[in-house]
Amino acid sequence: MTLKDIAKASGVDVSTVSRSLSGSYGIHKETRERVLAIAAQLDYRPNRIAKGLATGRSHTLALIVSDIRNPFFADIARGAEDAAFGANCDLVLCNSDLDPQKQVHYIQSLQEKRVDGILMNSVGSLDRVQQEFLSSTGIPVVLLNRPRSESNFSTVTPDNAGGGFMAGSRLVELGHRRIVHLTGPREDSNLRERARGFLRSMTGREDVAPTVLHGDHTFAGGYEMMQAALAADPNITAVFAGNDVVAFGAVRAVIEAGLRVPDDISIIGFDDVDLATVIHPPLTTVHQPKYETGHIAVEMLLTMAERQGPPIAEHRVLEVELIERQSCAPPRRPA
């Protein structure tokens, strides 16, 4: 079932059919209606790949995340896909594990497919030439964190520093003095900002002793960092985890150490993933709008794709909010 078939069936030229279907101007109303009727009757389905060849636009976007099993990215993906669906685009899913090789492979493959835009969680693991390559493809790119070097990629990020500040302030306010921040790799700009905000919330307070630990930004990493923190200073009373999953690992370590949350140790997370309400105790955390992030990112991609010419980098920062649940309390032991 092609344009040609329906042209034949309706006794006009394919170009007329094409115009009728695409609703262009300059077609006699009657002709169009007849053509449309026949197309419907024949149950015509346009071949989008042929259309793509002719127009140069694929109406396809890509999402490259480290791992879709990370609930944070699943939320992003859902927001992104909904926005893409709304714009009649489809979204191809890529899991990079932050492996530079895979990332480059994906980018090439996506370029060969002429995708209209790429939403990526990070280019942190790409070296200069790889970033250069991505940039040279001319494909619109939106990142979920700020790359270290200046680039023309757009970004949409949560207010990391603000969130870190909220978390730190709250802990201090509750009376905590020995506070540890469990975070991930120093290269991650989101995490760097969270740590910065956290520390800023207690500058000038000489009675507060913050320390920051770096480790794997995972459940296991949180577990291990928490054990290390407890070993290094048994008197800590509060922890701010770089994200919720790390917080969960910390909770586990605290419980296994025979202590309780929040009675002995207060814990605060970041992200506000679904699980945060499911675990015990429900986790106090800094909420960031994950779904909206994905949604907004593809909207940006779409407008970038519309506009011709070199992409103009745009940076959106989304507000965060402290969600008080039950993993924080005043310290029991004197600081």
Partner DNA sequence: CTGAAAGCGCTAACAG
Partner DNA sequence: CTGTTAGCGCTTTCAG
User: Which positions touch a copy of itself (CB under 8 A)?
Assistant: 45-50, 52-53, 58, 60, 62-63, 67-69, 71, 74-75, 77-78, 81-82, 85, 88, 90-95, 102, 108-114, 219, 248, 252, 255, 274-275, 278-280
Distance CA 155, CA 315 (A): 5
Q: Which two tokens stand for residue 202?
A: 């207690």
Q: Which two tokens stand for residue 265?
A: 């140790």
Distance CA 324, CA 273 (A): 14
- Picking from 157, 200, 193, the residue whose alpha carbon sits closest to that of residue 294 is 157
Structural element, H or E, at residue 321: strand 321-323
Q: How far is the CB of 316 from a copy of itself (least distance, A)?
A: 22
HEC letters along 52-119: HHHHCCCCEEEEEECCCCCHHHHHHHHHHHHHHHHCCCEEEEEECCCCHHHHHHHHHHHHHCCCCEEE
Beta-sheet pairing, 178-183 with 90-95: unpaired
For DNA, the closer CB: 4 or 332: 4
The answer to whether residue 54 forms part of the interface with DNA (CB under 7 A) is yes
Q: How far is the CB of 6 from DNA (least distance, A)?
A: 8
The partner in contact with residue 75, picked from a copy of itself, DNA, none with C-beta cut-offs of 5 to 8 angstroms by kind, is: a copy of itself
Q: Which two tokens stand for residue 218?
A: 């995972």
Q: How far is the CB of 116 from a copy of itself (least distance, A)?
A: 12
Among 9, 36, 51, 212, binds DNA (CB under 7 A): 51
The partner in contact with residue 91, picked from DNA, a copy of itself, none with C-beta cut-offs of 5 to 8 angstroms by kind, is: a copy of itself
The residue to which tokens 């490259």 are assigned:
64
For DNA, the closer CB: 26 or 309: 26
For a copy of itself, the closer CB: 210 or 215: 215
Q: What are phi and psi of 42, to 5 degrees?
A: -80, 0
Please work out the total of residues on this chain that contact DNA, with binding judged by CB under 7 A: 28
Contact criterion met (CB below 8 Å) for 271 and 286: yes
For DNA, the closer CB: 30 or 150: 30
The answer to whether residue 203 forms part of the interface with DNA (CB under 7 A) is no
Q: DSSP states of 169-183 as a string?
A: HHHHHTT--EEEEEE
The answer to whether residue 2 forms part of the interface with DNA (CB under 7 A) is yes
For DNA, the closer CB: 29 or 333: 29
For DNA, the closer CB: 49 or 278: 49
The residue to which tokens 């500040």 are assigned:
165
- One-letter identity of residue 2: T
Question: Residue 324 region, left (φ>0) first, then alpha (ψ -120 to 50), else beta?
Answer: beta
The answer to whether residue 108 forms part of the interface with DNA (CB under 7 A) is no
Q: How far is the CB of 173 from a copy of itself (least distance, A)?
A: 27
Distance CA 13, CA 54 (A): 18
Quickly count: other Cβ atoms within 10 Å of residue 9's Cβ.
15
The residue to which tokens 């115009």 are assigned:
19
For a copy of itself, the closer CB: 110 or 296: 110
The answer to whether residue 32 forms part of the interface with DNA (CB under 7 A) is yes
For DNA, the closer CB: 5 or 82: 5
Q: How far is the CB of 271 from DNA (least distance, A)?
A: 42
Which of helix, strand or coil describes residue 117? strand
Q: Which two tokens stand for residue 208?
A: 């507060």
Among 23, 25, 88, 206, binds DNA (CB under 7 A): 25
The partner in contact with residue 85, picked from a copy of itself, DNA, none with C-beta cut-offs of 5 to 8 angstroms by kind, is: a copy of itself
Binding site for DNA (CB under 7 A): 2-4, 11-16, 18-19, 21-22, 25-32, 46-47, 50-51, 53-55
